[in-house]
Amino acid sequence: MKKLLLPLLLMLFQFGYGQTNYYTFNADSLYSERSVRSAFETVVKSLPKNYLLKPTIYHRIIKKDSIINYLEFQALKSDSSTDNKFEVTFKQDSLFLLLNKKLPQFKLRDLNGNEFSSTQLIGKPSLINLWAIACKPCVEEIPKLNELKERYGDKMNFVAITENTCAKDDLKNFLIRKPFNFEMLENGEEYKKTLKIPALPRNIFVDKEGFIRYIQRNYPFDINRETGETIYPVNNYFLTIIEELIKNNS
């Protein structure tokens, strides 16, 4: 019994203390906690005074010797005088449980009533944007998503799925006022539930074989400290992800 106990204790010790915490902003790079804290302080300094920065872990992958924490910094307007502190909270985003798994299949209709199936995406990588008319951040990022489509053309599939419909929400007229040049699929509310998406927008990056490789929320942006204005970085992780998926497709 004593001979069995020692190896067991050693195994428990290795399991409990041998795992290293790493952090990722879901762009295929890993960072130490020290690096993340430093990044947090840098972002805090760039924020307007009435903003709080909230670090949130929304997904974890536990491996034998490491824990990969999917982290985001949320800049939130605040009326309080609370100082920004690096206090991480964990809140699982259910959509991320599908990461590196096959994209759940769908059959939806485009604005002309033609059926579009997820099987049509196989063969080259895809960016699937889930959005809604009433979602302000969704609408704000449309011009930047259009730029991606213009830049990469037919090297990728660019698909937008909205919970809205032409019949109920006058979707066609909205898109005349606010052009969105992705393949547009309507009435995607049930598919949104299938993916367990808690909030919009969501941008899902799928490889040529149909596996979900990256999941992002808004198109990347910064906030001007002086004016509070939204700034879109020229080089950002959306471009990095797309370039990687296209490269792996060649």
Report domain extents, the chain.
Answer: 15-92, 97-249
13-22, 117-126, 206-215: the lowest-pLDDT one: 13-22
pLDDT over 60 (residue 223): yes
Cα–Cα distance, 51 to 75 (Å, whole number): 6
Q: Where does 97-249 sit in CATH, by number?
A: 3.40.30.10
Q: Kindly report each contact of residues 242-246 with a partner whose C-beta sits within 8 Å and lies 24 or more positions away, as own/partner.
A: 242/125, 242/127, 242/148, 242/152, 242/156, 242/205, 244/28, 245/125, 245/156, 245/205, 245/207, 245/208, 245/213, 246/125, 246/152, 246/155, 246/156
Averaged over 1-12, what is the pLDDT?
42
Q: Report residue 244: phi and psi, to 5°.
A: -65, -45
Q: Report residue 132: phi and psi, to 5°.
A: -155, 155
pLDDT over 70 (residue 1): no
Q: Token digits for 83?
A: 């100082």
Residues 168-196: b if buried by 16+ CB within 10 A, e if exposed: ebebeeebeeeebebbbbbbbeebbeebe
pLDDT over 80 (residue 62): yes
Q: What is the pLDDT of residues 179-202, one digit of tens each?
A: 999 999 999 999 999 999 989 999
Contacts with 84 (C-beta within 8 Å, 6 or more apart), sequence order: 40, 44, 47, 52, 53
